[in-house]
Structure 1
């Protein structure tokens, strides 16, 4: 089944080249089917890059997925044209009376700041509180996951002594859980962050369940016991060259940046990076969509009765 996107979204051409099936609203409206309504709160600066990464994964599903993009009205994007945001994105005020089956909150390049120093933090708090009554299933990525865990459970964030940058092994410790169905015992995930949360307190929060973890780097995928909130600190949505572009950018700016761990053959940046996490990215997103589809309400207006 195709993923429904806004008319004229530029990344559709790239998706079609990759044979990711898409359908525009004018065609989808004629189909007698209840699609999954997914809201993507895109906090990344290069929004079209993140759109492409997430739509690739959401589009690899037998379900019809109706996607809408959300941006922060209290933040001025310096890397995405205002015309793109006005045409393809909505603000909180435009969606606050709507209901969604799922919502994805991306990472953001603000992790070195304390949460309260982030300029749009009050609007973000409003959105994820609203999502508790207007969205059935929430999926938080990287900094988005750190913030959500802090906001909901008061889990603190700390600065690492050095950046966690590269592709790392994590252990599947709950293989029976539907969110990681099909995962190998050990899987690899890209990490690119300067911070971590206080992992030690997670075991003392009865509402949470750790699904995957590393002895060296702590948990990666966490879910709420009711499975309506999913948190991942890594980036299974990343493309082959995402870490390369970040490394080249920082090295080109004269920063003392390490070569991404376990990313290039023989640790040589002149080589083509290894793409080692793609299948698990598709598994995680497919599992999340499937669980959302199986458990969400047909009448989304009844969501508030679940809280």
Structure 2
């Protein structure tokens, strides 16, 4: 089954060219099934790139997905055209009475700020509390995951003395988890962050379970059954050249940056980077969508009631 998105959204043509099944609203209306309603709260500056990345992953399952794009109500983006935002995004304040089967909260390039200093932090805390009554399963990604684990448990993010940047090996710590169905014992994942969550502080919360972790960059994927949530601090959703774009940007700006480790062949930026995480990315997000499908109520009014 395809992902349901507007035919005018840039991701529609991108995914169609890649062979991902997409469906516009007219065709979706002819199918007598309930699609899963998945929302993307997009906090990244490059909105269209992020839309493509997540739509690609959640649109690769055998289920019909209806993707809704959300933004913070008062925060104005400076990197995406206003016409695009007006055409495809709704502010959170407009969906407060709606129910969703799933919600993805993306990362944001604001790691250097304390959570309470982020200009939309108060509204984001309302979003996170709202997930407990209006969303069946929430996926917090990178800074979004750090924000959720901090909000619900007080687990802190800690600044690193150098950027964790590159592709790092992660161990499968919970092979029986339905979210890791089909995973190898190890997988490689892109990492790009100046902060970390520490395993000892996660372990101090009995309800949290670490599913993927790295000896080099710490815990990566954490399950939070009490809040029907997953937190991932690294970037399975990245395109093959996303780390290259970040590296080239910093080099061009004169920003000190190390070559992303284990990314370019021979760690040589002149070489074409190889994607070694795509299959596990599809497994993780496909497993998440499948778990939602298996457990979400058919009657959406019942979401958050249990």
What's the TM-score, normalizing by structure 1? 0.98
Does residue 129 of structure 2 align to residue 126 of structure 1? no
What does 1:96-107 align with in structure 2 at a 5 Å threshold? 96-107=96-107
What does 1:1-307 align with in structure 2 at a 5 Å threshold? 1-225=1-225, 228-306=228-306
* Contact 1:103/1:137, CA 8 A, preserved across alignment: yes
**Aligned to 2:261, what secondary structure does the other structure show?**
coil
Shift of 1:28: 0.7
* Contact 2:197/2:218, CA 8 A, preserved across alignment: no
Shift of 1:50: 0.3
Shift of 1:216: 2.6
* Whole-angstrom distance in 2 between the partners of 1:170 and 1:198: 15
Shift of 1:5: 0.5
Shift of 1:198: 3.3
* Whole-angstrom distance in 2 between the partners of 1:54 and 1:83: 21
What's the TM-score, normalizing by structure 2? 0.98
* Contact 2:168/2:216, CA 8 A, preserved across alignment: no
* Whole-angstrom distance in 2 between the partners of 1:272 and 1:217: 24
**Aligned to 2:148, what secondary structure does the other structure show?**
helix
* Contact 1:74/1:119, CA 8 A, preserved across alignment: no
* C-alpha RMSD of matched pairs (Å): 1.0
Shift of 1:199: 2.5
* Whole-angstrom distance in 1 between the partners of 2:183 and 2:32: 34
Shift of 1:227: 7.7
* Contact 1:3/1:23, CA 8 A, preserved across alignment: yes
* Whole-angstrom distance in 2 between the partners of 1:228 and 1:90: 24
Deviations 1:234-262 (A, max 9, x none): 10000000000000000000111110000
* Whole-angstrom distance in 2 between the partners of 1:179 and 1:297: 19
* Whole-angstrom distance in 2 between the partners of 1:173 and 1:300: 33
* Contact 2:132/2:227, CA 8 A, preserved across alignment: no
* Whole-angstrom distance in 2 between the partners of 1:258 and 1:120: 31
Unmatched 5+ residue regions in structure 1? none
Aligned pair count? 306
Deviations 1:154-185 (A, max 9, x none): 00111001000000001001001000111110
* Whole-angstrom distance in 2 between the partners of 1:139 and 1:238: 16
* Contact 1:100/1:136, CA 8 A, preserved across alignment: yes
* Contact 1:74/1:123, CA 8 A, preserved across alignment: no
**Aligned to 2:62, what secondary structure does the other structure show?**
coil
* Whole-angstrom distance in 2 between the partners of 1:55 and 1:163: 28
Unmatched 5+ residue regions in structure 2? none
* Contact 1:189/1:277, CA 8 A, preserved across alignment: yes
**Aligned to 1:138, what secondary structure does the other structure show?**
strand
Shift of 1:226: 5.1
Select between 24-33 and 184-193 the one with higher mean Cα deviation: 24-33
